[in-house]
Structure formats: structure tokens, C-alpha cells
A and B are shown apart, each in its own frame.
Chain A
């Protein structure tokens, strides 16, 4: 067949040109494509079809925390794939039980029950439904610039108009208040509020951290008014900010926590963790065929073990902190602010950030946007200090130009 070539090892693959042509012709076009065909990865590095290496500060948008082609994850998936690939939630399963116990060990205090699903959006959907069911209320207070996914419930909580407007009407009862404005939050949370939903550091919204005072106010308001506090840790979770979950780093006790992205080590996986205030969840009201599949659970167990073995919480905190400090002292005219925690880093520019992505890629660094003004860096947590220095040097070069 035209365009087919054979890689070393005998695996048939397709040329970069054919790859572009087939994807363009046969996908619905929902993704804005960069002209790069990625074919393999290892650690913090990915390679394109021509063999060019890039330091991957996208990590699949914060997925590859334990690195690309992590051997322990690959072995766990391979082993489980030969043992039992699927097991519906109607049965018990050892891989699932092991993961649930591991999640209970690393979760924020009080969070010890989990609903396993397949993505971040699905985790948010689950959290919203659980909050409604537990409280008997329907309203949700979310944050300006918050991002929680693009399925209908999650999209209703997402702030960005360009994602929302084409699909209105959305789920009723959602409103958005400015992050870090406790007074406005106090006006918004009432006896009709089922949940307050927030990110500890807004990811898509521009790497914007919630203040300790605001988080404290959110917790207090939820307690006073009988609402539940949902913390969306889809992007911040699994060590990204230097603790298992970013809320732990802030001393915050959520009622529900959502996670996904890095959890499955590259396999699609999400989870909702719930605490003691989330009661009366009625059997069969929220289920999913693939949730808690043994193969995904085996991958997630390996991810958690790798974060521990490689001491990635400490590394993310220390190397990420040093990287942020390094970027701050560059003191570049084009930079308005450097924000972030651990290896979740945003560089807000005084102008559109998009035009700098290609020059960065030309220097061997893949980065992302977080809004139009912010360059976002979410490298695998296994990235070394030397590799981060290469990222900083490339950024300095393109912003000086």
C-alpha cells in the first residue's frame, strides 16, 4: 500500500507524509494540528518521523508524568494484557482492588472511596452527579477561567465561551465567579448550591494558582452552607506540583477530587475520589463499561509505584522550583509573569504566546499554550535538571529574538 514503510524490528508503519494525509482526510478535524509527526518517546524526549528529538514539555498535556515508554508501566500493561484485559464492575478483580487501595493511600485525608472511569471529563461528570445526589441540590459554582472538560456537564462548568456557546443550552444551574475573590464566592454559595468546583492551579486557564485564603474561604463556605467542595486535580494530580495532589500542598480537604491524565500512564483512565460527606450514592445510577478495567488499573498501579520509586514528588518540587526561579531571573521584556508550582509552569507574555511555539520547536522544545498569552510547560516529571536548563535556554533565545 502506498506510503507504508517498515521500521527496524519489522513493525509496519507509515511515512510522515502519509500520516498527515490520512489524519487530515479521515479525522473530523477537531484538533488544531502542528506539523510534527511524533512516532516514539523515551523519558522526557519524543522523536518525530524524521528522527528529530524534542524535549516534550507537553507530555500529552500532562499525561506522561513517569516518562514516555516507561518500562515498568509497559511491563505491567503487557503482563495484565496477557492475564485479563477486561472485568466489568459487577465482578471483583485483583488489579482493581490493588489500585483502589493505592489510591486511598495517596489521596487527600478523608478521601478513601473512588469511582474509576476513563477520562478527566468523565471524572468531572461523575463528581457533579455525586454532588447532586449527595446534597439533593442542583446548583454549581465554578470559577472564571476554570476548565473541566467538554462533555455537557463538564462543559457547563468550563468557563471559556468559545467552547460553550456552540453547544448551548448547557446544563442549567452553573455560574462562574472570579478565582481568589472570596467576597464574590460568598455571595454565590447558597442553600441551593450542591458544589463549589475549582482547580488548585488553573491549567488551561493560564496556570493561575488559587490563593490559600480563597481555598480556606471556599472550604468554610461549603461547610457553613451545606455544599460540597470538588477539587479538579485532573492536571495537577499525581505529583505534577510536588505532592500527590495539589490540594495536599495547600492543606485543603476536599469532599470530592477528580483525577485523570497521568493516572493511567498513557492509558485512558480517570477517577473520582469521595470523602465522608458524600453519602447516599444510589447503586447503578452512574456506571461505565471500561471504568476500572484491569489493564488500566495495572497501568495506574505501576504509575504510582514509579512515582514513589523515582522520588518524583521531591524531584517535581525541587527541579520545578529551580526551573521557575531560572525563568524569573531571565527578566525578559516580553515576559509579564512566571507562575506555577512544581513542574506545572506558565510564562505569561505581554503579547500573544502562540507565535513562539514554532521557534521553540525548531530549538527542540515542545510547549503548549494556556490561553493566548501564556506559554505552558508540563514536562514529564522524570525530566532532568540539565534538560530543564535546555528548555530555559531555548525559551530565553526565542523571547530575546
Chain B
């Protein structure tokens, strides 16, 4: 369990979470990147600069 750095909501991570994985805050929907598993640290996932066709 970690705290969303955008809205403060509780964010769950799976037991097999890994660095680089991206999760979404269930409250505000912001994308968070797991930058450390032990201890669990989150950062705002970088805005997608690439264009994937949408």
C-alpha cells in the first residue's frame, strides 16, 4: 500500500510489483511509476511524449 502523490489516496500494489511498473490511482486516475519496491516509492509517470496513434 502506498499513497498517491497527486491526491493522497491509498494505492494498492500487487505482491509481485516491480520497478518500472505503472499503476493508476483509483481515485484521481493519475499514472504512477514504481521507482522503488523496497521501500515502496512512487513517482508521477512521465507524460507520454510519443504518439501512438490515438
A372 to B52, CA, bound (A): 9
Binary contact track B1-45/A, C-beta < 8 Å → 1, others 0? 000000000000000001011101011010100000000000001
Residues of A that sit less than 8 Å from B by CB? 32-34, 144-145, 159, 178, 350-355, 357, 368-369, 372-373
- Cross-chain contact A372 with B22 (CB below 8 angstroms): yes
Which residues from chain A contact B29 at a C-beta distance below 8 Å?
A: 144-145, 159
- Cross-chain contact B22 with A373 (CB below 8 angstroms): yes
- Cross-chain contact A178 with B51 (CB below 8 angstroms): no
A215 to B50, CA, bound (A): 36
From B20, B24, B50, B51, contact of A373 by CB (8 A) = B24
A368 to B51, CA, bound (A): 12
A357 to B54, CA, bound (A): 11
Which residues from chain B contact A144 at a C-beta distance below 8 Å?
A: 29
Which residues from chain A contact B45 at a C-beta distance below 8 Å?
A: 372
- Cross-chain contact A350 with B22 (CB below 8 angstroms): yes
- Cross-chain contact B54 with A351 (CB below 8 angstroms): no
Question: Known contacts A145-B29, A372-B31, A372-B48: does B22 contact A351 (CB below 8 Å)?
Answer: yes
From B18, B20, B31, B51, contact of A32 by CB (8 A) = B51
Shortest distance between the CB of A24 and any CB in chain B (Å)? 13
Which residues from chain A contact B31 at a C-beta distance below 8 Å?
A: 372-373
A357 to B50, CA, bound (A): 12
- Cross-chain contact A352 with B21 (CB below 8 angstroms): no
Shortest 8 CB-CB distances between A and B: which pairs?
A354-B52, A32-B51, A34-B53, A350-B21, A369-B54, A369-B52, A32-B53, A372-B48
Shortest distance between the CB of B15 and any CB in chain A (Å)? 13
Closest to B31 in A: A372
- Cross-chain contact A178 with B26 (CB below 8 angstroms): yes
Which residues from chain B contact A351 at a C-beta distance below 8 Å?
A: 20-22
Interface size on B, residues (CB 8 A): 16
Question: Known contacts A144-B29, A178-B26, A372-B31: does B52 contact A357 (CB below 8 Å)?
Answer: yes
Question: Known contacts A352-B22, A373-B22: does B48 contact A357 (CB below 8 Å)?
Answer: no
Shortest distance between the CB of A14 and any CB in chain B (Å)? 21
Closest to B16 in A: A333
Q: Provide 10 A-B residue pairs closer than 8 Å at the C-beta atoms, listed in order of the A residue.
A: A32-B54, A33-B53, A145-B29, A352-B48, A354-B50, A354-B52, A357-B52, A357-B53, A368-B54, A372-B48
Shortest distance between the CB of B3 and any CB in chain A (Å)? 18
Shortest distance between the CB of A237 and any CB in chain B (Å)? 21
Considering residues B26, B45, B51, B53, which has the most beta carbons from chain A within 10 angstroms of its beta carbon?
B53
Shortest distance between the CB of B6 and any CB in chain A (Å)? 11
Which residues from chain B contact A352 at a C-beta distance below 8 Å?
A: 22, 48
A255 to B9, CA, bound (A): 34
Contacts A32-B53, A352-B48, A372-B48 aside, 9 further interface pairs with beta carbons under 8 A come to A159-B29, A178-B27, A351-B21, A353-B52, A354-B50, A354-B52, A357-B52, A369-B52, A373-B31
Shortest distance between the CB of B21 and any CB in chain A (Å)? 5
Which residues from chain B contact A145 at a C-beta distance below 8 Å?
A: 29
Shortest distance between the CB of A183 and any CB in chain B (Å)? 13
A357 to B53, CA, bound (A): 9
Which residues from chain A contact B27 at a C-beta distance below 8 Å?
A: 178
Question: Known contacts A145-B29, A178-B27, A352-B48: does B22 contact A368 (CB below 8 Å)?
Answer: no
Closest to A376 in B: B54
Closest to B18 in A: A350
A351 to B31, CA, bound (A): 10
A159 to B50, CA, bound (A): 21
Which residues from chain B contact A33 at a C-beta distance below 8 Å?
A: 51, 53
Closest to B34 in A: A350
A373 to B52, CA, bound (A): 12
Which residues from chain A contact B18 at a C-beta distance below 8 Å?
A: 350
A351 to B51, CA, bound (A): 16
Which residues from chain A contact B21 at a C-beta distance below 8 Å?
A: 350-351
Shortest distance between the CB of A36 and any CB in chain B (Å)? 9
A181 to B43, CA, bound (A): 26
A73 to B48, CA, bound (A): 39
A350 to B14, CA, bound (A): 11
A355 to B22, CA, bound (A): 14
Closest to A206 in B: B24
